[in-house]
């Protein structure tokens, strides 16, 4: 383990902690941390700032630095960077610009909606992002997000999270996608529990449908079994316990099942890192970590954003880019190697488009792609809800 050499840290292109945090907030961008040993880069990670709080972002950054020092075996006291407060004129300038940005953003009410489109007939992953997305606008009182699509009996079924703004408690629903009318039909709630649910990853195994929803609030990763497709589900087993993990996504290849997930640990948030578990049979054998350390530590390319795409002998991982904010856009990464050192290569970025504010889940099946988009909605209810919520966030964030 390194112990005696000089270590240096660069925070958001600055050797000054407070200046780096202020810059990340000002430019609303990810906060890069680059660790050097004798001027040689040894680790580069990134995290997202708290969009409304310098204090919280500072604490988040300090916790991340401590976590990385522990992982790298560095004495944190020996890490060289400037921790002193900014001088008053510079501090006031940063704060003034930050407040003006916040006032602007507080008046744009947002809502997640499901979108769909037809895919390129050649099945070229690099062309999936092209073409026109068709929006399915839900009632103003809810948002709909995290859509997964399943083709069965000549119908496309969309499984998704729905959330009422009044209680912010997510539950899962399913509906048929009617492309002629451009809407979801025969919608029904399929899973509503005492804790928040989202990201209903549905998959088929030996003719049976299963689902792994996101249930971080319950500190579990659970497997549900479909007893009558698509509306009836029951819990089958817990795959991982005592863990806060989001957007857990299965990949089965070469008789091995991998689970890619993002865990919240001291010093790292859900969006920051990606970990991998594996099992030869998730129904009868436990999942074990492939690597002790995260395989991706970049907030702009870590968190999962949908099922893996397997085409033409290649595996593609869909990842969220939360560099500027949660749900900013998505990336398509070609998986090169999973074991003996994880390797992937980003091949495409899926941008939300000029009339959308975000994009964070993408899935496809039988010629149709579904996704979710964050849009602005300027009706009286949405304005009151959004502005009121932001005021509360600012008041209760230091």
3-state secondary structure of 69: helix
Quickly state the pLDDT bin for 348 (edges 50, 70, 90). very high
Residues 196-220: tens digit of each pLDDT: 999 999 999 999 999 999 999 999 9
The answer on 169 and 61 residing in a single domain is: no
Residues 274-331: tens digit of each pLDDT: 999 999 999 999 999 999 999 999 999 999 999 999 999 999 999 999 998 889 999 9
Task: Supply the CATH number for residue 325's domain.
Answer: 2.115.10.20
* Pick from 141, 133, 135, 183: nearest CA to 162: 141
The answer on 136 and 64 residing in a single domain is: no
The answer on 192 and 68 residing in a single domain is: no
Number of domain units in the chain: 2
The answer on 149 and 213 residing in a single domain is: yes
Please report whether residue 207 resides in a domain: yes
Residue-range definition of the domain harbouring residue 82? 7-105
Contact 357, 376 (CB under 8 A): yes
The answer on 364 and 237 residing in a single domain is: yes
Please report whether residue 156 resides in a domain: yes
Please report whether residue 164 resides in a domain: yes
Quickly state the pLDDT bin for 389 (edges 50, 70, 90). low
Pairing mode, strands 329-337 and 343-350: antiparallel
The answer on 131 and 64 residing in a single domain is: no
Q: Is the pLDDT of residue 154 over 60?
A: yes
What integer best gives the mean pLDDT of the chain?
Answer: 90
The answer on 165 and 253 residing in a single domain is: yes
Pairing mode, strands 275-279 and 288-289: antiparallel
Region of 200 (left: φ > 0; alpha: ψ -120 to 50; beta: rest) is beta
The answer on 161 and 48 residing in a single domain is: no
Q: Is the pLDDT of residue 142 over 50?
A: yes
Mean pLDDT over 43-49 rounds to 94
The answer on 162 and 250 residing in a single domain is: yes
The answer on 91 and 190 residing in a single domain is: no
Contacts of residue 100, Cβ cutoff 8 Å, sequence gap at least 6: none
The answer on 131 and 68 residing in a single domain is: no
The answer on 207 and 123 residing in a single domain is: yes
Tokens 């680059």 belong to: 34
Please report whether residue 88 resides in a domain: yes
């Amino acid at each position: 383990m390194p112990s005696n050499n000089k270590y240096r840290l660069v925070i958001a292109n600055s050797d000054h902690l407070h200046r780096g945090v202020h810059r990340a907030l000002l430019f609303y961008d990810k906060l890069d941390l680059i660790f050097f040993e004798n001027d040689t880069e040894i680790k580069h990670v990134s995290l997202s700032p708290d969009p409304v709080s310098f204090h919280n972002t500072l604490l988040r950054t300090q916790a991340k630095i401590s976590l990385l020092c522990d992982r790298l075996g560095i004495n944190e006291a020996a890490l060289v960077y400037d921790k002193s407060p900014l001088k008053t004129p510079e501090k006031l300038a940063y704060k003034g610009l930050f407040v003006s940005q916040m006032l602007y953003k507080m008046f744009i009410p947002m809502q997640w909606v499901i979108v769909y489109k037809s895919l390129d007939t050649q099945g070229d992953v690099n062309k999936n992002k092209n073409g026109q997305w068709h929006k399915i606008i839900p009632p103003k009182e809810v948002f709909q997000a995290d859509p997964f699509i399943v083709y069965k009996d000549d119908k496309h079924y969309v499984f998704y999270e729905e959330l009422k703004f009044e209680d912010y408690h997510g539950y899962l629903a399913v509906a048929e996608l009617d492309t002629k009318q451009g809407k979801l039909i025969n919608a029904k709630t399929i899973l509503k529990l005492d804790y928040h649910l989202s990201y209903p990853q549905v998959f088929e195994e030996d003719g049976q449908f299963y689902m792994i929803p996101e249930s971080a609030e319950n500190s579990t990763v659970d497997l549900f079994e479909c007893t009558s497709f698509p509306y009836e589900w029951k819990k089958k087993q817990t795959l991982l316990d005592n863990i806060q993990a989001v957007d857990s996504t299965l990949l089965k290849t070469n008789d091995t099942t991998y689970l890619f997930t993002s865990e919240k640990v001291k010093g790292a948030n859900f969006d920051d890192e990606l970990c991998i578990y594996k099992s030869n049979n998730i129904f009868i054998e436990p999942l074990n970590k492939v690597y002790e350390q995260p395989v991706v530590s970049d907030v702009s390319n870590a968190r999962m954003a949908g099922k893996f795409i397997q085409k033409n002998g290649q595996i593609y991982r869909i990842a969220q880019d939360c560099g500027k904010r949660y749900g900013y856009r998505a990336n398509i990464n070609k998986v090169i190697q999973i074991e003996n050192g994880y390797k992937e290569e980003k091949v495409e970025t899926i941008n939300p488009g000029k009339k959308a504010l975000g994009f964070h889940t993408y899935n496809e099946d039988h010629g149709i792609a579904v996704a979710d988009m964050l849009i602005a909605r300027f009706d009286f209810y949405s304005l009151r809800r959004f502005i009121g919520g932001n005021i509360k966030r600012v008041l209760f964030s230091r």
